[in-house]
A and B are shown apart, each in its own frame.
Chain A
Amino acid sequence: MSADQDPKDILKNMPYEPMQAKIIESHPLTEWERFFRIKLDNKKELGHMPGQFVQVSLFGQGEAPISICSSPTEKGFFDLTVRRIDSGSVTPALHRLKKGDVVGIRGPFGSSFPLDKMQGNDILIVAGGLGIVPLRSLIHYILDKRKDFGQVHILCGCKTPKDMLYGDEISTWEKRADISFQCTVDRADPDWKGNVGLITGLIPGVTLSLKKTYAVVVGPPVMYKFVIIELIKKNIPENQIIVSLERKMRCGLGKCGHCQIRNVYVCQKGPVFTLVDLKEMEGECHEGECRAK
C-alpha cells in the first residue's frame, strides 16, 4: 500500500525536526519558574491560538511540552513560562540559557480555547498554580480584543505569595475597570493583603450576568473537581466549562501514545476540553479532573 500523499511531499514534511528559534528575553519569575520570550529565526509568526503548546527542543537534552503564555495578538515573538524540574533534563538546561541562545521549537500543537464560541459571552477564568500560564495567553487575547467579550472575571490562586507568577501584570489587571480580578493564596505571608484560602472559595462570590458564561479552568488535577462543583452550582452548562489537561506529550503528532486518555490523544484533541468531553473519558481521567459523581 502506498501513501495517500505524494512521497515527495511527505519527505518535505519533517514532523520531528524543530524550527530554529532564539531567546530574546529571559528572566526568573519565582524560584522555580522562568520566563522566556522567543523569536523564530525564519521571522514567521508561530501562528498559535491561546491554549496550545509547543515542544521545546534542546539538542542533547531532549524535548519538553510547554504551554504558550502569550497571545497571538502580540506579534513577532511568543512567550513561555517554564518550571524547572530538577529530575528532568530539558527544563534545568533551559533555565541555564541566556538571551541570544538557540532553542528548537515544534508546534504549535493541540486544541485551543474555543474563542469563536466564547466571543460575545461572559468569561470566568479560574487559574490555580501554574494554570495561569496558558491562561495568560487567553487573558492577553481577551484584553487586546476586549470589546469582543462580555464581562470578564479572573480568579487566580497559588500556594503562597512567593509562588505568584506575573506579579507586575497582575497588579495592572487588578486596576483595570473593565475586568474583575481576584487573587488568593493558600498560605499568606505578613506582607500579603489579599484573600487567603482555596480558589473554590472565590467562586460563589462572583456575580455572573444572565448572559451566557464560559468558565475556563486550568490548574493542578486536584483542583478541578472542587472548582467544577462550584461552577455547576452556578448553573454553567457543561459544554461551557472548559479545562486544560496535563499529560505526557512526547511527539505532539498523535502517534507516540503517552498522552492517550481512552481513545483520545490529548496532544491533538486536547489539551483543551469541555466538561462534556471529559465525561466521555471517564475512568481514565484523573479523579480530580472528572466531575465528582
Chain B
Amino acid sequence: MKHGIILKSDMDQWFDSLKKRGKVYGPKKKESAFVFGLVHAFKEMSLSYIPTILPPKKYYLPPKESLFKFKIKPYEAAKATTAFEEFILFGVHTCDIAGIQCMDVIFNENPADPNYLSRKEKITIIGIECLDYCDSYATCASVGTHIHKGGYDIMLTDLGTAYLVHINSEKGEHLIKGKKYIRELDLETRKKWDKIIEEKNKKFKNEFKAELPEVSKVFEEGFFSPVWEDVGKRCVGCTNCTAVCPTCYCFDVIDDVSLNLSDGERSRVWSYCQMDDFARVATGEDFRPGRGPRQRHRYFRKFKYSVLKYNKYFCTGCGRCTRTCMAKISLKETVNGLLDEKRGKG
C-alpha cells in the first residue's frame, strides 16, 4: 500500500500500536508555544502547531552527546556508544524533515559521523503535512519545504475526519501492516485529497521578492552589503537564532571527569557561531569579531555556502530564527533587504 486512510477516531489505537516499536516523541503544547516531548497517548499531542521551540534535532544531534568514555589512569579509550534505542518522531512538519535531510548530508559526508548515523538509523519519522501557514514568520514556500520531498517514513495529511497515510519506506510499511482500520485510498477520498492540496497550493506563496537562484545571486554579491551592518547593530548576541535552527550543527568538544579523577567522557555540545568566543583561538585572536559579521556568517551558511558545497539551501523556512529573535531580526526582511538593495542599484 502506498496511500492509506485512517479515521481520526482510530488514531488512538494506531498510536498505541506504535508505542510497541519504541518511544514516541511528538509536539506538545507548552504555555504559548510547542515543544517536542515524550508522548504516551495520542491526545497528548497538538498536531496543529507552530514550529516547536527547538526542532526535533535535539533527538538526533543532542545538545550534549557522548563521543566516547575514557580512563585517565591507566590510559584507556573505550569504544564509543553506537547502540541506540529505536524511537518514533510523530507529527514532524515538512520543514523539519527538510532540516533532517540537510543534517544527513553533513554527517554522511566523508569522514562520516558514526554517532549521528547510528542514531539516525533508529528513527522512524511520521510527518504531518501543513495545509496552511503556521504563522507569518514562516518562509517555507520560498525554499519549497511546505511540500514534502522524501526523508520520512509516513506522511499524514489531514482530510477532515480522517488522515491520508502516505507510506514512503519499508519502516513505514511495517507500521501499518496488519492494521485493518487503515484502508486503501479510494477514488472518492482521492478527489477530496486533490481538492485539499489545490486549496493548500493557493495559500503558499514565495515570501521572498525573488526566486531562489536570484536570492543566491544577491548573497554572492552582498557579502559587503550594509544590510549586515544594520543586522549587526540590532543583534544582542543572545545566540537564539542558531540555537533553534534545524540545520545548525556546529559543536564544541568537552571532557568531563568523575570525582574519582580517572573515569571520564568526551562529549560534543552544541556551539553557535553567534557566541563571542566561537572563532577565538587560544592565543586570544578572534577571527570573526563583531555581531554583524557573525550574523552574516549565519545567513551565508543557509543561503550560500551550503549551495556551493552541497547544492542545497540550508534554510528550511521554518521561521524559528525570526520567531525567537528579541531584536526582531527577520529572515524574510533581511533577504528581501538584500534583494531590494540590488534592485535599487540596478
Contact = CB atoms under 8 A, between A and B. Distances in A.
Q: Do chains A and B touch in the complex (CB under 8 A)?
A: yes
B67 interface: yes
Interface stretch (B11-19, B195-203, B278-286, B335-343): B278-286
Interface in A40-96: 59-64, 83, 85, 87-88, 91
Contacts, number: 138
Contact of A87 (B111, B282, B297): B282
Interface residues of A, number: 48
B257 A60 contact: yes
Given A63-B253, A256-B253, A14 B121 contact: no
B281 A263 contact: no
B112 A13 contact: yes
Interface string B143-165: 00000001100000000000000
A225 interface: no
A64 B278 CA distance: 15
Interface stretch (A3-11, A110-118, A141-149, A233-241): A3-11
A255 B281 contact: no
A246 interface: yes
Nearest to A247: B287
Contact of B111 (A85, A104, A253): A253
Given A59-B70, A62-B253, A258-B271, A248 B281 contact: yes
A261 B80 CA distance: 30
Contacts of A63: 253
Contacts of B71: 59
User: How extensive is the interface on chain B, given as a class?
Assistant: 35 or more
Interface in A252-293: 253-263, 283-284, 286
B280 A248 contact: yes
B12 to A, nearest CB: 30
A49 to B, nearest CB: 18
A246 B280 CA distance: 10
A4 B70 CA distance: 30
A263 B70 CA distance: 34
B273 interface: yes
Contacts of B87: none
Residue in A13, A59, A61, A248 with the greatest tally of chain B CB atoms within 10 Å? A59
A250 interface: yes
A104 B76 CA distance: 10
Nearest to A9: B112
B285 A286 contact: yes
Given A16-B80, A59-B255, A60-B255, A2 B121 contact: yes
A257 B77 contact: no
Contacts of B112: 3-5, 10, 13
A102 interface: yes
Interface string B239-274: 000000000011111110100010010101001010
Residue in B71, B109, B111, B264 with the greatest tally of chain A CB atoms within 10 Å? B111
Interface of A: 1-5, 7, 10-11, 13-18, 20, 59-64, 83, 85, 87-88, 91, 102, 104, 221, 246-248, 250-251, 253-263, 283-284, 286
9 contacts: A3-B112, A13-B112, A59-B77, A83-B283, A256-B250, A257-B271, A257-B273, A257-B278, A261-B287
Interface of B: 67-68, 70-72, 75, 77, 79-80, 82, 101, 104, 106-109, 111-114, 117-118, 121, 150-151, 223-224, 249-255, 257, 261, 264, 266, 268, 271, 273, 278-283, 285, 287-288, 293, 297, 300, 304-305, 308-309
5 closest Cβ contacts across the A-B interface? A257-B250, A263-B305, A102-B75, A59-B70, A16-B67
